[in-house]
Structure 1
Amino acid sequence: MTTVVGLSARYANFLVHPLLPGPGVCQVCRGPAKTGYPTCWPCHEASGILGAGVADTVVPVSLALKREQYANELWRYKNAAGPQQQYFRMGLAAVLWRFLAAHEGCIADRCAVPGFGIVTTVPSTSGRADHPLRTMAAHMVGATRDRYRDLLAPIPDAAALGRTVSPSRYTSSALWGDDVLLVDDTWTTGNHAQSAAAALKAAGARSVAVVVLGRHLNTDYADTAGHVEQARLRRFSWDICALRNWDHG
């Protein structure tokens, strides 16, 4: 019988824990930050544009490194076909399920809320009719499906905004002080996820936490290789807390 633990087990061979915030590490997205700065430039820019609309916390499950296995699977679960597509979707659904089962309580604690009553996903702005991440969160992941709601929709000309952060990129159904867990697959600049968080808050969400399957990094860029080398020093374990420097074992 296939289990979440069984489906997710192979990922421990190539997932990489993001570094905890500190010198040289963005306190928002866990990517590289210039020495002396608390955040990277995209996160700094998002905060300046969105203000209190930015997510209350951002938690990447793993780094997703260009040309490596995890980044490849995050591309293939959307773009592969047939049995291969289902294979990658089931695997990534198991990753999300196992991660949330272990760490969602800590994410809620970080947001100072008792829990997240609603789960939603960042919708596509490329015209994809039914994003596979939505299918995973709404139907495949036991930790989210009973709480899932379709809240967000891109504005008609959202694609014209490119990758820029914007409080008007998405609209959201009305919320009344709800605490929302917002799931995305890949974070590069984070502008889509942060724009979605801003829409949820504008619609009445009390708090929004973003969980992202992969924090995309290109080790050919600037000092990213050293950042990744440091991250690899800590062997991946499902029990290591995403927000604190200890595990739940």
Structure 2
Amino acid sequence: MISRYGLALDRAIDSMAGSYLKTVRYKSVHGYLCPECGGFKGAGYWMCRGCSLIHGSASAIGAGHLLADRLAFGVYAPEPRSQSLKMMYGYKDEHPASPDYRTLVRAILALGIVGHGDCLNAVAGGSPVAWAMVPSTRQSPRYGKPHPFHEIATSVMGGLPEVEITASEGEKRRFDPERFHIESAPDLNGNVLLLDDSWVTGANVQSVAACLKTAGAEQVSIYCVARIVNYNYLESLSPDAVALFQKNVHYAGGFCPWNRTSEATDG
């Protein structure tokens, strides 16, 4: 159940940006949402292309058991030109165009991890033993530089030990457990929280999850602040799909990202 701190965060997020934020959902009447990551998919498919490729690649190398035990997401950041997408790019700027960008990213992360902390502990069977952040890959202009999301995540995670991970060479956005390496790690015998600011295909995030499990993590729980989706692709599935999505998907106060259900927001 969401904590009182979580309720306060939820209301603050809704007040600041509830007019344009959309809580990630995992099912729709027309079957256009992936039940795994909330991304867009054709109605005739069980999962989106990204998740299908990850599961297929993992299965092909006998690494299906190395994928994360659970996935949770905050809000959608639709391409092109949505306000939430602008927020997810803008918060990384040295001087963000709006001070609200970093405030909102931190609040969404804290809501999922701390506000719904009891929910995560319940589904995982215990509190997290460590946390890690998906590092910038070598192709990223931020590779080797301090990332604002790390500062935000560190402030949210408090004193929980961090697993330091680096990226090596490898094909971008392809599931590859050997693409990432652990530099230093505490005891991983339990649930490790893996954090990222955004999920596009999920290949990098799941590759890091596999890296953690190979190193001994008993469980890996992924939380991403934003699910990047593309309205042009959704429109290609059906001319009215974007309008239906915009009409029916809103910021949902009290929605638990771990149980994927709405919880009471009174009190």
TM-score normalized with structure 2 length: 0.79
- Distance, in Å, in 2 between the alignment partners of 1:5 and 1:192 is 29
Q: Given residue 95 of structure 2, which amino acid in structure 1 is its aligned partner? A: G
- Distance, in Å, in 2 between the alignment partners of 1:68 and 1:198 is 32
Is 1:39–2:53 an aligned residue pair? Answer: no
CA-CA distance at 1:17 after TM superposition: 1.7
What secondary structure sits across from 1:17 in the alignment? coil
- Where does residue 162 of structure 2 map in the other structure? 149
Q: Given residue 124 of structure 1, which amino acid in structure 2 is its aligned partner? A: S
| 1:59-138 correspondence to structure 2 within 5 Å | 59-66=72-79, 67-78=81-92, 80-82=93-95, 84=97, 87-110=100-123, 112-125=124-137, 126=140, 127-138=143-154
2:69 equivalent among 56, 59, 76:
56
- Where does residue 246 of structure 1 map in the other structure? 262
CA-CA distance at 1:95 after TM superposition: 2.1
Decide which moves more: 3-12 or 129-138: 3-12
CA-CA distance at 1:89 after TM superposition: 2.0
| 1:186-225 correspondence to structure 2 within 5 Å | 186-221=198-233, 222-223=236-237
CA contact (8 A) 1:32 1:223 kept: no
What secondary structure sits across from 1:13 in the alignment? coil
CA-CA distance at 1:94 after TM superposition: 1.9
- Distance, in Å, in 2 between the alignment partners of 1:205 and 1:247 is 30
CA contact (8 A) 1:7 1:90 kept: no
CA-CA distance at 1:38 after TM superposition: 2.3
- Distance, in Å, in 2 between the alignment partners of 1:198 and 1:31 is 21
Is 1:14–2:23 an aligned residue pair? Answer: no
Q: Given residue 169 of structure 1, which amino acid in structure 2 is its aligned partner? A: R
Decide which moves more: 90-99 or 66-75: 90-99
CA contact (8 A) 2:77 2:84 kept: yes
Q: Given residue 18 of structure 2, which amino acid in structure 1 is its aligned partner? A: A
CA contact (8 A) 1:117 1:179 kept: yes
Is 1:165–2:179 an aligned residue pair? Answer: no
- Where does residue 5 of structure 2 map in the other structure? none
CA contact (8 A) 1:118 1:179 kept: yes
CA contact (8 A) 1:32 1:227 kept: no
CA contact (8 A) 2:11 2:253 kept: no
- Distance, in Å, in 2 between the alignment partners of 1:88 and 1:204 is 36
CA-CA distance at 1:114 after TM superposition: 1.5
CA RMSD, aligned part only? 2.6
Deviations 1:165-191 (A, max 9, x none): 211111124554231111111111011
CA contact (8 A) 1:17 1:231 kept: no
Deviations 1:19-71 (A, max 9, x none): 23474432211112333432112112111223111111111101111211111
CA-CA distance at 1:232 after TM superposition: 4.5
- When residues 45 and 235 of structure 1 are mapped into structure 2, their CA distance, relative to the original with a 3 A threshold, is closer
Q: Given residue 29 of structure 1, which amino acid in structure 2 is its aligned partner? A: C
What secondary structure sits across from 1:147 in the alignment? coil
